[in-house]
Structure 1
Amino acid sequence: MTTNRRSRKIAVRPLRVVTVLLAVLLANAWLTGCSGGESETPTIRFSQQYGVGYLPLMVMRHNKMVEAQAAERGIDQVDIEWVTLGGGASTSAALLSGNLDFAASGVGPMIKMWDKTRGAQNVKALGAINSIPIVLTTSDPEVQSIEDFNKTDRIALPAVKVSIQAVTLQMAAAKQWGNDAYDRLDDLTVSMKHPDAMAAMLSNSEVNAHFGSPPYYQQELERDGIHQVLTSYDVLGGKSTFNTLWASDSFRNDHPKLFAAVFAALKQAMQFIADKPREAAKIYIAEANSKLPEDLIFQIITDPDIEFTTTPKNVMKYARFMHQIKSIDHEAGSWKDMFFPEVANEPGS
């Protein structure tokens, strides 16, 4: 009996030690998971929208550049999730709800998010994605300028009032009729994804104008009866940022290596497009599941008016206008207020 008790005690002690060790390991694992540490396998969630403007993100995804840049920084495994959204409104909602880490959208929605999240999530742009003209086209031969639109016209754009197309149209209206009439054309606008907007206008529906981006306006202008009304470069007086990539300050602080990896991958993708535009065109066809001719995409990529760059251009003109019309509450003192320090030394505007 004594021998059995001793045997039982000897058998129980290792079990208690194992139980305690297991509890400690589980606690450490839970604490690591809650801290968002970069020792675990992290997941980065990106969004993008439709069109050639998002080509750098497509190149990043296709060539697994984020994964490679993360590995160089000691993170051997990272999971990347991508989602395609239809406009700035849905992109902003997804980021605010915590369903995205990096949101790609027009500069207008980015400015609104910067304004809305000051002192909270502190959303800013990691950098510009491009300088690209957006072009207002129409199937109505009587519309040669924005002053020719009437109450029966419908102008499709990604998101009423908040998309960069909507803001640019307001700026054009303010130039045409004065600052107090900046929203004169707002009632004519409807929210539609670019592919749907192009299809609607070309099918002679009630939508007879589209404020679009590449490759949509190029396709539209190839069709008989479609002509250009204005471009964002006309309104801004030169090259201007179309899309930006943004994130919260907390993600940058909690995941500095991943943040640095994403920025390095973005720059790497832009260099790839500059060095290998033909290969970049092939990647667009594959990633966008596009049936467009490769030569058309190549011509768009190499168009002198189109530039893939992290440098913000004419962003302050948008910010000042949006503050002037009370679309945002806070006035930016500089474009650097709305961007993370990674691009602070670039010649932005």
Structure 2
Amino acid sequence: MFKRINRLAATIGLGVSLVAGSLVAPAAAQAEGEIRIAEQFGIVYLLLNVVRDQHLIEKYGKQEGIDIKVDWMQLSGGSAVNDALLSGSIDIAGAGVGPLLTIWDRTHGRQNVKAVASLGNFPYYLLSNNPNVKTIADFTEKDRIAVPAVGVSVQSRFLQYAAAKQWGDKSFDRLDKYTIALPHPDASAALIAGGTELSGHFSNPPFQDQELANPNVHVVLNTNDLLGPNSPTVLFATEKFREKNPKTYKAFIEALAEAADFAQKDKGAAADTYIRVTGAKIDRAALLKIIDNPQFEFSITPKGTYPLAEFMYRIGAIKNKPESWKDYFFQDEKPLQGS
């Protein structure tokens, strides 16, 4: 069965490569009144689900005196998302803080990609169905850990951060050789099914909660224990898009802010939105239990991102050292404060 997972990973990887490859030729610059948004999988993108469901970008566009055409795209993995943004095929990228910092560093002084907003503060779990794996030190060459993108995704960076804390900075990549790239839905299904070398998954909600419903799956690492409350997933854009499309950009920020307020205040309606927009086959009561977790906070204000940024500079993953979160976030009226 693991061979089938390997083939699945290869097929998915090829698909992502083909998508990214098809985006190499820069697209024509977008005009004011158009915005193309790429998201990935999971509840962490719920604010975008609300924005889409309630047509909030269009609503705030009209307040700015323009009709905004919104295009939505779903990709898997920070590499594919970053490639799409740099090729000019999307305007707003949704990915983890790890991919953000990679592209911020790569475009520093050129396209100047920076984060627009957080999508909220959520704990991510590293899970395992191997009863012998209690901590990250227990993974061996017999194990494989699924992440969205090897070495690039925020899950990969969290794993490296944990390894550095365990064995020192020089061994930050000690567990990288055990990781494979799989989208969360596929990794979740494989971990629940068991019977393969895929014994670990650095997940996100709701997949991690669905996996934990299996008594053979347990938490190895909680990112809140690693970093404290943090914003693992963010939205980012190029400086050019922000400057060339001020009304569209403002409408997007206002839409996000309203979506965050909506989701935080009415978890039931937020759950209904997620199911309606994504078509996810998840029980509403189970979903509501997930998003009503007191560790969840739907907010566009970033929290706890700088420790990972400082770590990535320390290990040489990025060349430019940010002095604070403000270096890699656009400084707009919203969000006002962060970390």
TM-score, normalization by structure 1: 0.87
Greater shift, 132-141 or 306-315, is seen at: 306-315
Residue 290 of structure 1, CA deviation:
0.9
- Percent pairwise identity: 40
Return the alpha-carbon distance in structure 2 between the equivalents of residues 46 and 35 of structure 1.
15
Return the alpha-carbon distance in structure 1 between the equivalents of residues 29 and 182 of structure 2.
40
1:61-72, aligned counterparts within 5 Å?
Answer: 61-72=52-63
Letter paired with 2:189: A
Partner of residue 131 from structure 1, selected from 121, 134, 144: 121
Partner of residue 65 from structure 2, selected from 47, 71, 74: 74
Residue 43 of structure 1, CA deviation:
2.2
Aligned: 1:269 with 2:263: no
Return the alpha-carbon distance in structure 2 between the equivalents of residues 248 and 181 of structure 1.
33
Counterpart of 1:317 in structure 2 is 307
Aligned: 1:303 with 2:312: no
Return the alpha-carbon distance in structure 2 between the equivalents of residues 267 and 299 of structure 1.
23
Residue 345 of structure 1, CA deviation:
6.5
Counterpart of 2:37 in structure 1 is 46
Partner of residue 144 from structure 1, selected from 134, 137, 153: 134
Residue 35 of structure 1, CA deviation:
8.5
Partner of residue 284 from structure 1, selected from 270, 274, 281: 274
Return the alpha-carbon distance in structure 2 between the equivalents of residues 267 and 327 of structure 1.
32
Consecutive unaligned residues of structure 2, counting only runs of 5 or more, are 1-27
Return the alpha-carbon distance in structure 2 between the equivalents of residues 171 and 300 of structure 1.
26
Aligned: 1:171 with 2:161: yes
Residue 347 of structure 1, CA deviation:
3.1
Counterpart of 1:328 in structure 2 is 318
Counterpart of 1:235 in structure 2 is 226
Q: For residue 105 of structure 1, give the secondary structure of its aligned residue in structure 2.
A: strand
Give aligned pairs, total.
311
1:149-298, aligned counterparts within 5 Å?
Answer: 149-204=139-194, 205-236=196-227, 238-298=228-288
Return the alpha-carbon distance in structure 2 between the equivalents of residues 154 and 61 of structure 1.
36
Q: For residue 196 of structure 1, give the secondary structure of its aligned residue in structure 2.
A: helix
**Deviation digits for residues 287-345 of structure 1 (CA, Å, limit 9, x no counterpart):** 11111011122122221101111111111101110011111110001110100111676
Counterpart of 1:23 in structure 2 is none
Q: For residue 208 of structure 1, give the secondary structure of its aligned residue in structure 2.
A: strand
Contact 1:43 1:79 in 2 (8 A): yes
Counterpart of 2:4 in structure 1 is none
Counterpart of 1:100 in structure 2 is 90
- Asked which structure has the greater CA Rg, the reply is 1
Letter paired with 2:275: I
Return the alpha-carbon distance in structure 2 between the equivalents of residues 267 and 180 of structure 1.
40
Contact 2:229 2:303 in 1 (8 A): yes
Which runs of at least 4 in structure 1 moved beyond 6 Å after TM superposition? none
Q: For residue 88 of structure 2, give the secondary structure of its aligned residue in structure 1.
A: coil
Alpha-carbon RMSD across the aligned residues, in angstroms, is 1.3
Return the alpha-carbon distance in structure 1 between the equivalents of residues 335 and 31 of structure 2.
29
1:90–1:312 distance in 2 versus 1, CA, 3 Å: same
TM-score, normalization by structure 2: 0.89
Q: For residue 260 of structure 1, give the secondary structure of its aligned residue in structure 2.
A: helix
Residue 348 of structure 1, CA deviation:
1.4
